[in-house]
């Protein structure tokens, strides 16, 4: 490996809270994903205007055929097979015996026992030949540790007076009229599944007709309900029922993928570049603290989200349910990824009290260490984007960044005590968490797209600009998520605030925002 160099950002720690379980079978067939750079630098945020077509994206910012050729030569030299080349998403899938692929990339692999599961993991850095060093963004697929968790909290039992259905929230937040017709909302799921009978019962309770829901398999994962409301089933049901309850005429497409960094990215790319369903909005309710990710993976995901922005697709993601620590035990503040990507609309959480269609009070969601709290804070990986130049984002601790990307951008009700009525695995319940806020905003964006006759796409500059000036948000000024306290204007608890839907739509219709 003397001619090889370390792949930047690929270093992996040993899996915490696990025990050694031997070596993986070296003759096992595996497939890895090599993510490549763009052939030309993509437009920065201030240069994004009209969406690109998919052919134009490939031509201008897809993978360079010369880079593909180098990867193919490298694979052939190690006796590996090239299974798939995707110019738009800029990846090459390579397969072969584990021994050969591990040797080709200098991967240090072992099996680790975590509870009842035995997982193939890696530690240390990967290596690539010098011919690939500047061409490769990431190499994913060696490590099968779960990369993300859900951000939902379920309480079983019938709807309570303090909880809400999606149509009730649409009225409280003054969402525009409409049903999301001609829109497709993509939901990314890394486990669990939904039952058609649950959805039928739910739509009936809301007085809605059937909502179009389609499952798409990615990487062999399927719509597989576990029969336990506390499992990932609760997440899937929440996402589908909230998005469909807000925009019942939108098509809901659920992309099921393995819970690995490779599977997660595959699902996102599948949604972004889907030529059949062509999603206009993507909602993600899974994530983990930035410190749990490798920099190479975050960079690969961020590049995919940049693609979504260029194509006019809005991506919403939950900001986390464990306050300013994001569940880490090191005593420091952390933010959740993928919500921390500057190309993603990060969705924080509130506690909402309403009477009828009127908001009575709304504060930062924080039920303490055992009850959960909205995520939010400052990225240690992504720099402060231009659209946040006018807001006061604190300096991130323990980082070389002079400042970082502030999280979240927006918010919505997330407290389980004032949460969302759902049906999951045949049982009624109330779900909270920022997992609910992402599909809530996805449904809202679908209504706006319908009203405007075009996709909002990457909407950050508009939200931080004219929309905020037009009173498009209910500013949340009370409460904290641990380290950070709400204040007038943007803050690292609830961002710009919760939506005043009609005001947002009106602002989006103004000439400077068309």
Which active-site residues does the annotation give? 235, 239, 435
User: CA angle at residue 256 from 252 to 261, to 5 degrees?
Assistant: 125
164 DSSP assignment? B
The C-alpha atoms of residue 351 and residue 357 are separated, in whole angstroms, by 16
166, two tokens: 């999606």
Contact 139, 221 (CB under 8 A): no
Report the residue count for the chain. 514
Residues 6+ apart with CB under 8 A from 332: 325, 397, 398
Helix count and strand count (H, E) for the chain:
12, 27
Tokens, residue 145: 């540790």
CB of 375 within 8 A of CB of 366? Answer: no
Q: Which residue has the tokens 């990824």?
A: 337
In the structure encoding, which two tokens stand for residue 284, read together?
């993600």
Instruction: Check: CB of residue 353 under 8 Å from CB of residue 319.
Output: no
- 251 forms beta bridges with 184
- Report DSSP state, residue 397: T
How is 41-100 classified by DSSP, letter by letter?
A: PPPPGGG--SPPPHHHHHHHHS--HHHHHHHHHHHHHTT-EEEEEETTTTEEEEEEEHHH
Q: Which structure tokens are listed for 508? A: 């989006």
Q: Is 341 left (phi over 0), alpha (psi -120 to 50) or beta?
A: beta
d(CA 484, CA 326): 13
C-alpha dihedral (361, 365, 368, 373), degrees to nearest 10 = 180
Residues paired with 252 in a beta bridge: 185, 213
Q: How many other CB atoms sit within 10 Å of the CB of residue 399?
A: 14
Q: What whole-number distance in Å separates Cα of residue 54 and Cα of residue 18?
A: 43
Asked if 460 and 442 touch (Cβ cutoff 8 Å), the reply is no
Side-chain-side CA neighbours of 393 within 13 Å: the count stands at 27
* Residue the block writes with tokens 């939010």: 376
In contact, 411 and 495? CB cutoff 8 Å: yes
- Taking the C-alpha atoms of residue 308 and residue 463, their distance in angstroms, rounded to an integer, is 17
Residue with tokens 């925002």: 513
């Amino acid at each position: 490996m003397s001619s090889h160099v370390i792949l930047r950002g690929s270093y992996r720690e040993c899996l915490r809270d696990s025990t050694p379980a031997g070596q993986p079978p070296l003759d096992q067939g595996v497939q890895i994903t090599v993510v490549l750079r763009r052939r030309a630098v993509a437009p920065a945020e201030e240069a994004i205007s009209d969406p690109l077509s998919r052919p134009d994206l490939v031509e201008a910012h897809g993978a360079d055929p010369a880079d593909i050729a180098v990867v193919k030569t490298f694979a052939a030299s190690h006796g590996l097979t090239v299974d798939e080349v995707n110019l738009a998403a800029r990846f090459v899938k390579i397969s072969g015996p584990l021994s050969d692929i591990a040797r080709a990339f200098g991967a240090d692999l072992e099996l680790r026992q975590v509870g009842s599961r035995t997982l193939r993991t890696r530690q240390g850095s990967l290596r690539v030949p010098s011919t690939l060093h500047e061409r490769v963004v990431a190499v994913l697929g060696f490590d099968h540790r779960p990369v993300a968790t859900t951000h939902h909290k379920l309480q079983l039992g019938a709807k309570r007076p303090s909880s809400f259905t999606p149509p009730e929230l649409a009225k409280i937040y003054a969402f525009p009229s409409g049903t999301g017709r001609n829109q497709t909302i993509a939901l990314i799921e890394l486990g669990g599944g939904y039952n058609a009978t649950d959805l039928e019962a739910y739509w009936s309770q809301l007085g809605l007709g059937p909502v179009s829901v389609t499952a798409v398999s990615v990487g062999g994962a399927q719509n597989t309900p576990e029969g336990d409301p506390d499992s990932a089933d609760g997440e899937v049901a929440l996402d589908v029922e909230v998005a469909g309850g807000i925009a019942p005429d939108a098509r809901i497409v659920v992309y099921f993928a393995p819970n690995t960094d490779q599977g997660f990215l595959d699902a996102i790319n599948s949604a972004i570049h889907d030529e059949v369903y062509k999603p206009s909005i993507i909602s993600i309710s899974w994530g983990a603290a930035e410190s749990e990710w490798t920099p190479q993976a975050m960079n690969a995901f961020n590049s995919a989200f940049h693609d979504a922005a260029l194509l006019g697709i809005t991506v919403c993601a939950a900001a986390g349910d464990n306050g300013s620590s994001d569940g880490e035990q090191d005593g420091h503040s952390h933010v959740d990824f993928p919500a921390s990507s500057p190309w993603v609309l990060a969705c924080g959480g509130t506690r909402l009290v309403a009477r009828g269609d009127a908001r009575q009070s709304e504060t930062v969601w924080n039920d303490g260490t055992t009850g959960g709290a909205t995520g939010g804070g400052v990225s240690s990986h992504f720099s402060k984007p231009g659209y946040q130049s006018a807001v006061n984002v604190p300096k991130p601790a323990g980082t070389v960044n002079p400042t970082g990307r502030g999280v979240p951008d927006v918010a919505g009700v997330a407290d389980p005590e004032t949460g969302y009525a759902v049906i999951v695995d045949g049982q009624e319940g109330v779900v909270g968490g920022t997992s609910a806020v992402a599909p809530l905003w996805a449904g809202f964006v679908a209504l706006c797209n319908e009203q405007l006759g075009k996709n909002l796409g990457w909407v950050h500059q508009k939200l931080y600009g004219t929309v905020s000036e037009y009173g498009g948000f209910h500013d949340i000024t009370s409460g904290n998520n641990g380290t950070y306290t709400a204040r007038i204007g943007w803050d690292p608890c609830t961002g710009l605030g919760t939506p005043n839907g009609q005001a947002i739509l009106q602002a989006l219709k103004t000439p400077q925002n068309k």
